[in-house]
Structures are given as C-alpha cells and as structure tokens.
Structure 1
Amino acid sequence: MKKIGMIGGLSWVSTAEYYKRINEITRSKAGGVTSARIVLESVNRQEYVTAVIDRNDEVAACRQIAQSASMLQAAGADFIIIACNDVHRFVPVIQPMINIPFLHIAQVTAEAVKARGLKRVAILGVRKTMECDFYPKIFAQNGLDAIIPSEPQRKIIHDSIYEELVHNRFLDATRERYQSIIADLAARGADSVALACTEIPLLLSQEQSPLPAFSTTELHCQSAVAHALAGQSFSASVNESRQ
C-alpha cells in the first residue's frame, strides 16, 4: 500500500472528513480492519488566511503549501492530496519543487463528470476557486464547460464558507440559499454542479441538489484510495501554465 501525503488544516473540518472517508473506503476495499497509510501535514489556517486575505500575499501563501509538500515528501509520502480546493491553484508552481506527484482534485472531478456524460458544470467554492482559472482549464482539457455563479451568488457562497462551514456550522437557511443558486445556474444552462469546496458536501448532499452534484471531497478520497491500493500511475503535473 502506498503512503498518502495529505496537506490539511484548511480547514480542520474537511481534513477530519478526509481522514474518516479515506479510512472507511480503504477498509471497504481491502477488507478486515485495514486502515490507510497517511502522513498529515496540517497547515495553520490562521497563518494562511492572514497571508491570502489580510495581506493579499499569494507568494507567502504558496510558500506555506510548498513547505508542507516538502515535509510530506521527506516523511515518505508516495503522492500528495490537498484537502482544500482553492489551494490547488498553487500546484503548477510547487510540483517542480518536489519529486512526488499531486493528485489534483479538479482532474479527479473532471473525469467523474465526463464519465457521467455531462458537459456544463457549475462551480461552487470560495472566491479563489470560482474566480481563478484552474478549474475551467482542467475542465476544458476534458471537454467540459465551467459555469461560474454571478457576483452576488459568489459572495453568498464565499461568505457562508468562511463564516459558517469552516467553523463546523451547517444551517438549513444556508442550504436553501445554495439550492436556490443551483436552480438558477440550471436555468443558465448548467447540467451539473461541482461542490468545489471540501466543506460544501457536509452542508448539501447530492440528493439535496437540484442538479447532479459531484462531491469533490468524496471523489478525491475515492481516487486517493484507488491509487494507494492499486499503485496506479498518474501524471505528476496538471497540464496547465504556471501562475
């Protein structure tokens, strides 16, 4: 079994879900009381938020993630997953610094959407995820179109994540707002939705979504276990330009 390197702490809420699901999936696939080999590097979310939000310092934020990736490599990880969607914007910068690959959450999601025969995917996440180009680029490489919520909708989604979800607060009223936003995106032509913040699937299940919903957390965990157990190879870098 390969060792999974996990960058977590962004937030602890979804990191805990990752650890739980990876081990549940590993046990179901391997049998008995098998548990996953995981080495965790937990980022201090406050330091990250201070860099990204308070100082708007992308270089400092990227440096934090790069240091974590290097530590995972030194700890013997065979590949790395990041338990956070928006941090994947740094992967093209960090990948050349290390010798083990990232399992990219957007690529895993794109493959799952494509397998279902869907084409136009609405992206829900924090602002960096919705407004940066790493999801649209990877989706385009897989023949998919990305649909982005309107500015007022992006504000509702982003604020709810920062003010509620990462604090382990999941409110019915917020779930209803998400359902309304997804219904509007469907009217704009979306045929599916990527729950592209690792906390959103804890608020809104696939069954509660007006459109077919893809939990990036679940897809990432499933793929991580598949690679760990089967030793499948995958690209060491996503084919996109560095930012």
Structure 2
Amino acid sequence: MKTLGLIGGTSWVSTIDYYRFINQGVNNRLGGVNAARLLVHSFNYADIVKNLDTNNWDAILKMIVDAGINLKNSGAEGIILCGNTTHLVATEAQAQIGLPIIHIAEATAVAIKKEGFKTVALLGTRFTMEHNFFADKLKAAGIQPLTPDKTDRDFIHETLLREMGKGIFKPETKAAYLQIMDKLKLQGAEGVILGCTEIPLLVQPADTDLMLFDTAAIHSAAAVDFILN
C-alpha cells in the first residue's frame, strides 16, 4: 500500500469527504479494519480565497508546492489536491514537488467516457469554468464541455466561495443551480460535472434527471487505485 498526501482545506468541508471516501474505498477493497495510509495538509481557506480574489496564482502555487514537499519529506509517494480549482497549477506543482499528482480532470474524463457521453456541462469556480486546465483534459478524451453564461458563472463562483466554502447550503441556491443545469441541458448537455467538490453537497442525483459526475467521489476512487496499485 502506498502512502498518499492530501492537500486540502480548499475547503475543509469537502476535504472531510475525501478523507472518508478514500478510507472507505481502501476498506472496501481490502476488508477487515484496513484503511488508507494518508498524510494531510489542510490550508486556512481564507489564505486561498485571498489569493483567488487577487488572482495571485504564484502565491497559491508556492503554498501547494511547500505543502507537497513537506508531505513528500514525511513519506508521501503521491499527492492529491482535494479540490478542482487548485488543479490550475497542478502541472507546475507536480514538477516542483517531484511526486505524481492524481489529476481530477483526467479521472473525471475516464468516468464520463465509460458512460459514452460526448457533451457535458461543467460547473465550478470561475477558474475551473473559464480556464483550460479542466476543459483541455475533457477535449483530449473526446468530450465537449459546456459552461454557463457569464451571469451564471459569476453566481456559481460567489456562492461556492462565500456560502458552500463555509458549509452554508441554501435552498434558494440549490434551486438556482438546478435552473442553470436545465439551461445547459437544453444546449445539449447529457450530464453535469460537479466541478467543485462542494457542489455534490448541495445538489444530489435525485434532484435532476441529468447524470451527475461527482468529482470528489471520482477523484477519491482514482486515489484508491493509486494507493493499492
């Protein structure tokens, strides 16, 4: 069994799910009282949001690299970033840390291909929806991502950072997300990537007839594969 380093706190709400999903996945495979060998570095989310608000990705990269090197020095053999947005710098971080980073978009693309879907909606922070780090991985797998219009992107971004990142889940926010998803369905979306790891805590499969791709669960399953391979 490999030792995996988790870089979380982005936010702590979803990092809890990563810890649970990975340990449950290892136990399901090995049985008994087996659990994953994990090392966790959890950021102060306020430090991350401050740099997101100023678009200071150099600072975020340094935070991730410093955390990753500490985890490596403590025995981690691979890294998982417990959130979608931080994957914007995953390639650079991997090179500087010197350990493999399990990429959330690559794992999600594999899951979508298994369903045979060609067009999917992508919801997440503004960075996830507007930059190419996630979309390019999908396109490389023959999957076309659809994103909401600017007004809806701004709404999603703000509610992720100011509400769900603090563990606040409002019924009116959920209703708005479902309306956005319905609009994307009319544009041809066959499923929806919940591309921020808090969204699955807001929207569940029973809420929509679209297939939901929970990136936290998908990413965690890829982590289990890494740990046990």
* C-alpha contact (below 8 Å) 1:122/1:190 kept by paired residues: yes
Query: 1:100 offset after TM fit, Å?
Result: 1.4
- What code does the residue aligned with 1:139 have? L
Name structure 1 gaps, 5 residues minimum: 232-243
What TM-score do you get using the length of structure 2 for normalisation?
A: 0.96
Detail structure 1 runs of 4+ shifted over 6 Å in the superposition: none
Distance in 1 (alpha carbons) for counterparts of 2:214 and 2:27: 20
- After TM superposition, the structure 1 = structure 2 runs for residues 24-35 of structure 1, keeping only pairs within 5 Å, are 24-35=24-35
Name structure 2 gaps, 5 residues minimum: none
Query: 1:51 offset after TM fit, Å?
Result: 1.9
Distance in 2 (alpha carbons) for counterparts of 1:92 and 1:220: 16
1:20 maps to 2:20: yes
Provide the residue aligned with 2:11 in structure 1: 11
Q: Residue by residue, what CA displacement relative to the aligned partner does 1:65-93 show, whole Å, maximum 9, x if unpaired?
A: 11111111111111111111010010121
* C-alpha contact (below 8 Å) 2:4/2:78 kept by paired residues: yes
* C-alpha contact (below 8 Å) 1:182/1:210 kept by paired residues: no
Q: How high is the sequence identity, in percent, across the aligned residues? A: 36
Distance in 2 (alpha carbons) for counterparts of 1:113 and 1:22: 20
Provide the residue aligned with 1:238 in structure 2: none
1:44 maps to 2:39: no
* C-alpha contact (below 8 Å) 2:49/2:161 kept by paired residues: no
Provide the residue aligned with 1:217 in structure 2: 216
Question: Which moves more between the two structures, 155-164 or 119-128?
Answer: 155-164
Provide the residue aligned with 1:60 in structure 2: 59
* C-alpha contact (below 8 Å) 1:179/1:210 kept by paired residues: no
Query: 1:175 offset after TM fit, Å?
Result: 1.3
1:111 maps to 2:110: yes
Distance in 1 (alpha carbons) for counterparts of 2:57 and 2:202: 28
Distance in 2 (alpha carbons) for counterparts of 1:87 and 1:207: 29
- After TM superposition, the structure 1 = structure 2 runs for residues 1-243 of structure 1, keeping only pairs within 5 Å, are 1-53=1-53, 55-229=54-228, 231=229
Q: Count matched residues.
A: 229
Distance in 2 (alpha carbons) for counterparts of 1:129 and 1:150: 14
CA RMSD of aligned residues (A): 1.1
What TM-score do you get using the length of structure 1 for normalisation?
A: 0.91
* C-alpha contact (below 8 Å) 1:192/1:212 kept by paired residues: yes
